[in-house]
Amino acid sequence: MTWHLYFMRRWVLWGLLVALVATLLGALVWLAWRYELSQVQDRLDRETIEAVGDIRSGLNRNTQSLQALQALDKTIDDWRNDATLFLRQHRELVRLELREPDLKTKLFIESPFRLGVFDRYGTDSAASQTVSACNIGKRLSGPAYANSNYISQTDGAGLEIMDFCMPIVVKGQLTGYVAASYSLLDILSEMVSPQYTKTQQISFVESDGTRLAMQGMQQTARRTFVSQQLLDLPGHTMVVKLESWRATPDFFPNVLTAIVLLLALSLITVLFLLARDMRRRQRAELNLADALAFRKAMEDSLVTGLRARDNQGRITYVNPAFCEMVGLPVDQLLGQAIPEPYWPPEMVSEYGQRQALRLAGNAPPRKGVESVFMRQNGERFPVLIFEAPLLNTQDEQTGWMSAVLDSSEQRRTEELHRASMERLQATARLATVGEMASMLSHELNQPLAAILSYATGPINILENPLPDSQQLSHALSGAMHHIAHQAERAGQVIKSVQDFVRRQDQAREKVAPIHLIQNIMPLMALQAKKLGIKIQVDCSHELPPVICDRTMVEQVLLNLARNGMQAMHLDGHLNLKDRVLSLKVQQPKTGSQRLWLNFEVIDCGPGISQEVAQNLFTPFFTTKAEGMGLGLRLCRTVIEQHGGAMEHQPHQPRGTVFRFTLPAITSFQD
């Protein structure tokens, strides 16, 4: 899947999540709101029931009190007094009446709070309602109510009056009626607890919704809650209505909704933070993808093979260079454990042991391990492996990472280089020999001339033999000895050249430094004599032996000595007595573990100019007409092959010191 599709899918999922959460939250808020409304409605219903109960019990109490007024022993005046007092205590009552059994009014008392309510119509204005109440009461043999009716007042206002009538029965005989008129408005204000009307409105309504009387607050807010209850009284039924108002929209009607809203807000905040986090993560992922692509391109372009293995030795990663090296595709390498498919079968046990050591926690050397791998076609090839532990983010080791270098090409190059060096050295040796040939012939002339002259003596003697045989033999043996001596000398000269040219074995051996010098001494002496130079040797017999290829090192010494002698010879200002070539071998005092010896070849020639010094070791650089310019270059290579170093510096008061080092061994190491 491409990154683009991947991110698209992620955004779609996120969108879905946001939509779901939003729906859920909306539903929650709506439910909480609905719950809150139902709570309000329930409370209102409860209060309406309570209000209706209050009214009913108030009316009942009044009925009982009115019954109490009918005590048998009371005179009409007593009744008037009691009734007046009762009216004073009960504002909801507008008037009280005593009626004859034929319903004629016997006594009529008005409430002191509402005098003259019926003035406009006369005391009989409510008669029809009172009569119907009394008729109902008579039929029910108990208190009864009649339908309310509206009585307009002189001041323009009006009152809704409900009539009540209760038959008075004494010893089974109807003796009259007690009638009363209730003001519905005052019933609401007197009998209903003010707590219901403080913020709400209570009213009596007819079944068609007409409001008869109301009490309490006017509408304060847009949303209205309504609750209605029937107040059924004997003979008459009314509806009590309670109205309450609430502002809309009301977002925090109670704690529950507030909590839900708070949770919703927190959820939205968390979603927002998560989305921001996701955006950042997405950016990081894109960067990571870029980095990965970069890394992959880098790994693919490497010529070094890369291989990762886990702690069990299974291959977990290889780069294309590694696959190419061993000639196997990635899928045939991944997951492979011991023995790896590129191990030569004959090495499996050795490599297995090495692997076991590695897995046991022994880190391989940092400078790399040389090994041999096998290509798919069975060809073995040398490799150099560098391994490093693979650490995860918790710094725990999860395996090993190896860089594998195919060193077959390098080996081939090294081999070629070595062969060409050898050829060069052989050529240089031959050149030196050729150069010496002229000196040899000159040097050999001497012993040969001597031999010749020594030989003429015996020949003359043999041609003219001496009479004394003893004298004869003495003269002959003397001459022969001289001849033999000279021949031996000539032989030595030739042999030293032969030795020098023939010896080609590369073996390193222990050689005492003094022997190195002694071996080249005849050849040096030859040249020294020719050029009129004195040779000084400062080399103790006590010095430890050096480990070297003696032929090579002898050639180095010879080269340096020859260069020094030639330099002095060419220097016209030098006195004959100052022409001294010194060979010094010393053991420097160092604290290092390894033992080295310093070899110095010192001449008193003109020294080396800055210009010459820069090219001193460049092949074919020479200032001599017959020179080849290879000597010093070869010398340095030979010394470096032995692990040593070569340098030169001016010698005081004049001349040059060529110094090189060679590894030596102590008798202890020996």
Residue 622 sits in the site that holds ligand ADP (CB under 6 A): yes
- Between CA 253 and CA 251 the distance in angstroms is 6
- Looking at beta carbons only, is 120 or 624 nearer to ligand ADP? 624
Return the residue of 190, 621, 654, 665 that touches ligand ADP, per CB under 6 A. Answer: 621
- Interface residue with ligand ADP among 137, 143, 564, 644 (CB under 6 A) is 564
**Coil vs helix vs strand at 592:** coil
Taking the complex as a whole, the smallest distance from the CB of residue 562 to ligand ADP amounts, in Å, to 7
- Residue 311 is a binding residue for ligand ADP (CB under 6 A): no
Under rule CB under 6 A, residue 433 binds ligand ADP: no
**CB-closest chain residue to ligand ADP:** 631
DSSP state letters, 63-127:
HHHHHHTT-TT--HHHHHHHHHHHHHH-TTEEEEEEE-TT--EEEEEE-TTSTTTTTTT-TTTTH
| Cβ neighbours, 10 Å, residue 528 | 21
Write phi, then psi, for 169 (nearest 5 degrees): -115, 120
Q: Tell me the three state secondary structure of residue 193.
A: coil
**Whole-number minimum distance, CB 417 to ligand ADP, in Å?**
19
Q: Which is nearer to ligand ADP, 109 or 583 (CB)?
A: 583
- Out of 98, 134, 603, 646, which residue is the one contacting ligand ADP (CB under 6 A)? 603
For ligand ADP, the closer of residues 236 and 633 by Cβ is 633
- We find the least distance from the C-beta atom of residue 612 to ligand ADP, in angstroms, to be 5
The least CB distance from residue 518 to ligand ADP, in Å, is 22
Q: Between 45 and 600, whose beta carbon lies closer to ligand ADP?
A: 600
Question: How far from 230 is each of 39, 205, 207, 244, CA to CA, in Å?
Answer: 22, 10, 10, 18
Please state, in angstroms and rounded to a whole number, the distance separating the CA atoms of residues 422 and 416. Answer: 10
Does 612 bind ligand ADP (CB under 6 A)? Our answer is: yes
- Cβ proximity to ligand ADP: between 163 and 603 the closer is 603
Give strand pairing partners of 170.
173
Q: Applying CB under 6 A, does 605 fall inside the site for ligand ADP? A: yes
Please say whether the beta carbons of 344 and 374 come within 8 A.
yes
- What token pair was written down for 151? 């009585």
Beta pairing partners, 239: 205, 230
Length of the chain: 670
Q: What is the CA radius of gyration of the chain?
A: 68
DSSP β-bridge partners for residue 22: none
Nearer to ligand ADP, 201 or 559 (CB): 559
Is 324 or 640 the residue whose CB approaches ligand ADP more closely? Answer: 640
Near ligand ADP by CB under 6 A, which window of 215-223, 312-320, 556-564, 576-584? 556-564
Q: Near ligand ADP by CB under 6 A, which window of 11-19, 287-295, 563-571, 661-669?
A: 563-571
Q: In angstroms, give the least distance from the CB of 535 to ligand ADP.
A: 14
Q: Within positions 180 to 209, which residues make up the interface with ligand ADP, using CB under 6 A?
A: none
- The smaller minimum CB distance to ligand ADP, of residues 14 and 617, is found at 617
Question: Nearest approach, Cβ of 577 to ligand ADP (angstroms)?
Answer: 19
- 8-state DSSP, 670: -
CB of 378 to ligand ADP, least distance (A): 48
Q: How far apart are CA 51 and CA 64, in angstroms?
A: 20
Beta 236-246 vs 305-310: how paired, if at all? unpaired
Site for ligand ADP in 625-654 (CB under 6 A): 627-633
| Interacting span for ligand ADP (CB under 6 A) from 26-34, 130-138, 386-394, 600-608 | 600-608
Q: Pick from 383, 608, 638, 664: which binds ligand ADP (CB under 6 A)?
A: 608
Render 332-384 in DSSP notation, one character per residue: GTTT--SSPTTS-GGGHHHHHHHHHHHHTT-PPPTT-EEEEEE-TTS-EEEEE
Q: Are residues 533 and 616 in contact, defined by beta-carbon separation less than 8 angstroms?
A: no
Grouping H, G, I as helix, E, B as strand and the rest as coil, residue 246 is: strand
Closest approach, Cβ 628 to ligand ADP, in A, equals 4
Q: 117, 110 in Cβ contact below 8 A? A: yes
Q: Minimum distance between the CB of residue 336 and ligand ADP, rounded to whole angstroms?
A: 55
- Report the residue number, 110 or 603, with the smaller CB distance to ligand ADP: 603
- Per rule CB under 6 A, count of chain residues that contact ligand ADP: 21
Single residue of 46, 120, 417, 624 touching ligand ADP by CB under 6 A? 624
Nearer to ligand ADP, 385 or 581 (CB): 581
- The minimum distance between CB 456 and ligand ADP, in angstroms, equals 42
Q: Does the protein bind ligand ADP through residue 567 (CB under 6 A)?
A: yes
Q: How far apart are CA 149 and CA 129, in angstroms?
A: 8
In 392-503, where do the E strands start and end? Answer: 397-406
- Judged by beta carbon, residue 495 or residue 624, the one nearer ligand ADP is 624
Nearest to 509 by CA among 473, 545, 455: 545
Q: How far is the CB of 399 from ligand ADP (least distance, A)?
A: 53
Residue number with CB closer to ligand ADP (168 or 533): 533
- Between CA 252 and CA 262, with CA 256 as vertex, the angle to 5 degrees is 70
Choose, by CB under 6 A, the member of 25, 261, 274, 616 that binds ligand ADP: 616
Check residue 570 for interaction with ligand ADP (CB under 6 A).
no
The single residue among 201, 203, 656, 661 that binds ligand ADP, judged by CB under 6 A, is 656
- Smallest separation, CB 599 to ligand ADP (Å): 14
* Closest residue by Cα to residue 59 from 175, 176, 182, 157: 182
Instruction: Please answer whether residues 185 and 215 qualify as being in contact, where contact means their C-beta atoms are separated by less than 8 angstroms.
Output: yes
User: Which residues contact residue 507 at a Cβ distance below 8 angstroms, ignoring those fewer than 6 apart?
Assistant: 549
H or E element in which residue 631 lies: helix 631-641
- Residue 563 as a binder of ligand ADP (CB under 6 A): the answer is yes
What lies within 8 Å, CB to CB, of 576 at 6+ separation is 532
The 8-class DSSP code of residue 265 comes to H
Listed in sequence order, the DSSP H helices in 464-549 are 469-502, 513-531
Report the residue number, 352 or 629, with the smaller CB distance to ligand ADP. Answer: 629
Min dist CB 632 to ligand ADP, Å, is 3
- Judged by CB, which is closer to ligand ADP: 191, or 560? 560
Which of 158-166, 371-379, 498-506, 559-567 is the region at the interface with ligand ADP (rule: CB under 6 A)? 559-567
Q: Which is nearer to ligand ADP, 563 or 582 (CB)?
A: 563
Candidate segments 45-53, 166-174, 253-261, 604-612, binder of ligand ADP by CB under 6 A: 604-612
| 8-state DSSP, 192 | S
- Least Cβ distance, residue 526 to ligand ADP (angstroms): 17
Angle at 198 between CA 196 and CA 202, to 5 degrees: 50
From 643, 541, 553, 645, select the one nearest 598 (Cα to Cα): 645
Chain contacts with ligand ADP (rule: CB under 6 A): 559, 563-564, 567, 603, 605, 608, 612, 616, 621-624, 627-633, 656
